[in-house]
Amino acid sequence: MITISFTRQYFRDGTAQLTQMRLNAYSEGSRLSGLAQHFLRRDLPQSADLVVSYASVDPNLLHAVICDGGDIVRHATEQQWRGLDLRETPVASALPFIAQARQQMEGRINESADEKRMIAVFPFWDVARKMTKGTVILEYDLSGAMLASKNRVLYDSVAEACALFGGCLLLWALLQIMVTERVTKIVEQTQNINWDTEIPNPIEGPDELATVSVSFAKTLRRLRATEQRFRHIASSMRDIFWVASAQKEEPVYVNPAYEEFWGQSGDRLVKHRWEWLRNVAKEDRHKILEMLRQLRNQPGETDMEIRIERPEGLQWMNCRSFSVQKPGDVPGALQVVGVMTDITERKKLERQLIEVAEQERRRIGQDLHDDICQRLAAAHLKTGILQTILARASLPQAQVASDIERELAEATDIARRFAKGLAPVAVGTGALPQALTDLATFLQRAFNIRCTSSCDPVEGLVEAEAAAQIYRIAQELATNAAKHSKGTWIEISLAQGQDCLYLEVSHDGATFKPSAQPKSRGMGIFIVQQRVDALEASLSFQPRPGADGTIATCEIPILENTLPTAD
């Protein structure tokens, strides 16, 4: 503002000063030309010198010269110039203007190219020299006048700057007292707030900042009440509730149920953020870390079951988690919240239900094989004898007996298949390889697809009930592949590893990608997962490397007393 004001004032004052000098030069030149004509005609040199000396009173006037028609200096502010030719004086630069002025017989005012000098030329009739044209020449110093104008404007600008600076200091002091200090106090109140600290007193006053401070204190009290209710609910929960802030340097919040279940204080998570992961079963660590990574990257919700290793045994936990964008956090930084529920008892109950269902299925299959199948076989045998007798007697009823015999044979075959399907694995694991072979034969015949099986000896490595569950898992996976993959072959293999059995069902059809959400899974996969959990095994689906298709792998732990020991 000061610079703009200085520039405008300088140009305005400079223009006014230049205009005033032009008016003075025109007035003085007109006056001197009239007096010079009078004094030269009457031959009054003293009077002409006096008039020229009066003109030199103007501080901006450098030279004043009166010359006759022959350009001889008659009078001048410098007495030594008298009698000299005008060309021999410092005002010789006025000669071009003199010729123009004499031609038009009117005064002319011209400025030099560098705008430092102004020359005024006014002609008059020199009667004493036979009516020749004399000239009055006035040379003014423009640079001095403009410098004086600039100094004048500079002094005014300095005074204006001091006034503005004083006003700014006063305004700053008022803002510091009335706004800055009060806002700083509000900021300090917000930074020192915690749920268990004392609520600071609001600032007083009738202004808007006081209103904001009072409203903030009221809101804080409501939030404090909500926080206390939340912590009361969290502390009374039997489930483990946890919150991972979007800021990774902040500790993970856990409710008291964490300490009871994990057997360690939640305060340790401040320095050991991932200590809880040590208790998660090795097979589930990658799964839960992948879940956390996905929730950190994009908002969503997940539901999974993991196993926790505790001194009293393996515990099952259902972990439901979701991520949200917390207001005020950096865009893209997500807060992850989760609830972990102990479902060990439910898993035990599911395992018992599966075992009971399998036992009942096997009992029905055995009853079907030992009773219905035997009765059908006896009826088939008797019908065959009857058909033979009727045929020897050449009776027409022989054909009906033959049809009944054929249908009974088919019914007997169907009943035996049902019986074998209900009880494919007998007590003991020795029948498991044959059961898998029969499964492959059945699928090949039922779905017209090439199906093969291979099985290492597993007798004594798993319990009989586990062998039945292994068969059911293979049956469900292979049947799903035959129904939905649209492939050309299926392979079923059961191999013995160092500390577990590997059941693999692979095919060359469409790649299967199971959803992470249990609600979206089919009933078949859900039941398979129940059987896998009952075996304390793990199930994974991977695409075939470099080709179409899927490899489903189930890792089943071997009985501990059957593991090889070092010599």
Under a CB-based contact definition with an 8 Å cutoff, are residues 504 and 491 in contact? Answer: yes
Taking only the tens place, the pLDDT of each residue in 416-474 is 777 666 666 544 456 788 888 888 988 888 888 999 999 888 877 877 778 888 888 89
* C-alpha to C-alpha distance for 156 and 212, rounded to whole angstroms: 45
For residue 338 the two structure tokens come to 């989760």
Whole-number pLDDT of residue 564: 45
Q: Which amino acid type is present at position 169? A: L
Taking only the tens place, the pLDDT of each residue in 198-216 is 666 777 777 777 787 778 7
Which residue in this structure is represented by tokens 């320095």? 271
Burial 143-155 (b: 16+ CB within 10 A, else e): eebbeebbeebee
Mean pLDDT across the stretch 116-131?
A: 82
Kindly list the distances between the CA atom of residue 17 and the CA atoms of 13, 97, 146, 196, 270, in Å, as whole numbers in the listed order. Answer: 6, 23, 7, 76, 79
Q: Same CATH topology for 237-342 and 429-567?
A: no
Range of weakest confidence among 70-84, 334-348, 369-383, 491-505? 369-383
CATH architecture entry for 429-567: 2-Layer Sandwich (3.30)
| Confidence at 329, pLDDT banded by 50, 70, 90 | low
| Confidence at 525, pLDDT banded by 50, 70, 90 | confident
Angle at 389 between CA 383 and CA 395, to 5 degrees: 105
Who wins on pLDDT, 98 or 224? 98
Is residue 507's pLDDT more than 90? Answer: yes
DSSP 180-244: IHHHHHHHHHHHT--TTSPPPPPPPSSSHHHHHHHHHHHHHHHHHHHHHHHHHHHHH-SSEEEEE
Mean pLDDT across the stretch 387-416?
A: 83
Instruction: Give the fold, CATH level 3, of 2-149.
Output: Beta-Lactamase (3.30.450)
Domain coordinates of the chain in residue numbers? Answer: 2-149, 237-342, 344-423, 429-567
Mean pLDDT across the stretch 13-40?
A: 84
Instruction: Give the fold, CATH level 3, of 237-342.
Output: Beta-Lactamase (3.30.450)
| Confidence at 483, pLDDT banded by 50, 70, 90 | confident
Whole-number pLDDT of residue 503: 92
Which residue in this structure is represented by tokens 């399998």? 358
Kindly list the distances between the CA atom of residue 199 and the CA atoms of 132, 183, 195, 202, 279, in Å, as whole numbers in the listed order. Answer: 104, 17, 9, 9, 40
Give the rounded percent of residues in the chain with a pLDDT score beyond 90.
Answer: 5
Whole-number pLDDT of residue 450: 92
Kindly list the distances between the CA atom of residue 54 and the CA atoms of 75, 139, 365, in Å, as whole numbers in the listed order. Answer: 13, 15, 145
Under a CB-based contact definition with an 8 Å cutoff, are residues 398 and 445 in contact? Answer: no
Report the run of H or E that residue 6 belongs to, with start and end: helix 2-42
Q: Which amino acid type is present at position 402? A: S
* C-alpha to C-alpha distance for 318 and 320, rounded to whole angstroms: 7
Mean pLDDT of the chain: 81
Bridge-based pairing state of the strands 132-141 and 61-67: antiparallel
